[in-house]
């Protein structure tokens, strides 16, 4: 498998964790989102992913998958050990809900393209950072109430919720969002990052890290 990847992309970070947890070897192809106006906008990458975002996962079959959540659920269906979703339908829904608060509510409002557009509209960095912090805080306030007794977000096993939450905590710290009000989230993040699969996926541990 070939992962089109960028060290600082939280969506790619989720997929790296999933691949590591399932011990699946992959080749990284680095797509820089900032240099030269963004390498993801080049025609050769658009031919791979028409949305021009990372990650994309090229399979040995010749197919290419896009969108991190779709990729992770594909990996979980095809390589079910360890499972990233619980067996009960209601529990799976709870795990997906927390994952989607990150992937559907927080992340789209705070990704590279959105923040760049705010700057294009003339907003200064303080305003952009306040925008970022507001959506992280709103999402984390909900997640703090929804996660279960640990050590992970939904008990004794790593789930899709953890794969989404840990990269978002990393980004929150990068943007200096206060986390004192979220001790459960901070605890889950600390526990996850003790696992080699999470540590290996961290942005600073990627070959393209700057």
Query: Does residue 46 sit within a domain?
Result: yes
CA dihedral 74, 79, 81, 83 (to 10 degrees): 10
Do 121 and 182 lie in one domain? The reply is yes
Per-residue model confidence as pLDDT tens digits over 192-203: 999 999 999 999
pLDDT higher at 17 or 35? 17
Q: CATH number of the domain at 117, please.
A: 1.20.1050.10
Whole-number pLDDT of residue 210: 80
Q: Can you read off the two tokens belonging to residue 18? A: 């999933």
In angstroms, how far apart are the furthest CA atoms of the chain? 48
The C-alpha atoms of residue 33 and residue 41 are separated, in whole angstroms, by: 8
Whole-number pLDDT of residue 37: 87
Do 126 and 171 lie in one domain? The reply is yes
Per-residue model confidence as pLDDT tens digits over 33-92: 989 889 999 999 999 999 999 999 999 999 999 999 999 999 999 999 999 999 999 999
Whole-number pLDDT of residue 117: 93
Are residues 165 and 96 in contact, defined by beta-carbon separation less than 8 angstroms?
no
Whole-number pLDDT of residue 112: 87
Do 124 and 182 lie in one domain? The reply is yes
The C-alpha atoms of residue 201 and residue 5 are separated, in whole angstroms, by: 11
Whole-number pLDDT of residue 101: 98
Residue where a domain stops, chosen among 55, 82, 109: 82
Mean pLDDT on 25-37? 93
Do 76 and 103 lie in one domain? The reply is no
Q: Would you say residue 171 has pLDDT above 90?
A: yes
Do 61 and 141 lie in one domain? The reply is no
The C-alpha atoms of residue 34 and residue 208 are separated, in whole angstroms, by: 12
Q: Can you read off the two tokens belonging to residue 128? A: 């952009």
Paired residues of 56 in beta bridges: 4, 66
Give pTM, 2 decimals.
0.95
Do 65 and 150 lie in one domain? The reply is no
Residue where a domain stops, chosen among 82, 112, 135: 82
Do 93 and 183 lie in one domain? The reply is yes
Query: Does residue 57 sit within a domain?
Result: yes
What domain range is 48 assigned to? Answer: 2-82
Query: Does residue 203 sit within a domain?
Result: no
Domain count of the chain? Answer: 2
Residue where a domain stops, chosen among 28, 48, 82: 82
Do 106 and 170 lie in one domain? The reply is yes
Per-residue model confidence as pLDDT tens digits over 93-139: 999 999 999 999 999 999 888 999 999 999 999 999 999 999 999 99
Do 191 and 93 lie in one domain? The reply is yes
Paired residues of 57 in beta bridges: 3, 65
Do 77 and 109 lie in one domain? The reply is no
DSSP symbol at 172: H
HEC states along 1-64? CEEEECCCCHHHHHHHHHHHHCCCCCEEEECCCCHHHCHHHCHHHHCCCCCCCCCEEECCCCCE
Do 154 and 68 lie in one domain? The reply is no
Q: CATH number of the domain at 51, please.
A: 3.40.30.10
């Amino acid at each position: 498998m070939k992962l089109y990847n960028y060290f600082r992309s939280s969506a790619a970070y989720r997929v790296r964790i999933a691949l590591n947890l399932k011990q699946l070897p992959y080749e990284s192809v680095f797509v820089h989102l900032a240099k030269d106006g963004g390498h993801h906008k080049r025609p050769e990458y658009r031919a791979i992913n028409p949305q021009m975002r990372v990650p994309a996962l090229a399979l040995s079959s010749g197919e290419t998958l896009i969108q991190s959540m779709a990729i992770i659920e594909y990996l979980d269906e095809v390589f079910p050990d360890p499972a990233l979703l619980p067996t009960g339908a209601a529990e799976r829904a709870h795990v997906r809900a927390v994952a989607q608060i990150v992937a559907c509510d927080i992340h789209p409002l705070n990704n590279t393209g959105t923040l760049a557009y705010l700057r294009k509209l003339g907003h200064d960095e303080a305003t952009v950072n306040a925008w970022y912090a507001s959506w992280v805080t709103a999402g984390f306030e909900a997640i703090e109430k929804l996660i279960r007794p640990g050590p992970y977000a939904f008990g004794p096993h790593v789930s899709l919720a953890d794969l989404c939450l840990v990269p978002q905590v990393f980004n929150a710290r990068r943007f200096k969002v206060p986390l004192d009000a979220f001790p459960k989230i901070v605890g889950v993040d600390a526990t996850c990052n003790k696992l080699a699969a999470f540590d290996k996926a961290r942005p600073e541990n990627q070959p393209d890290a700057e």
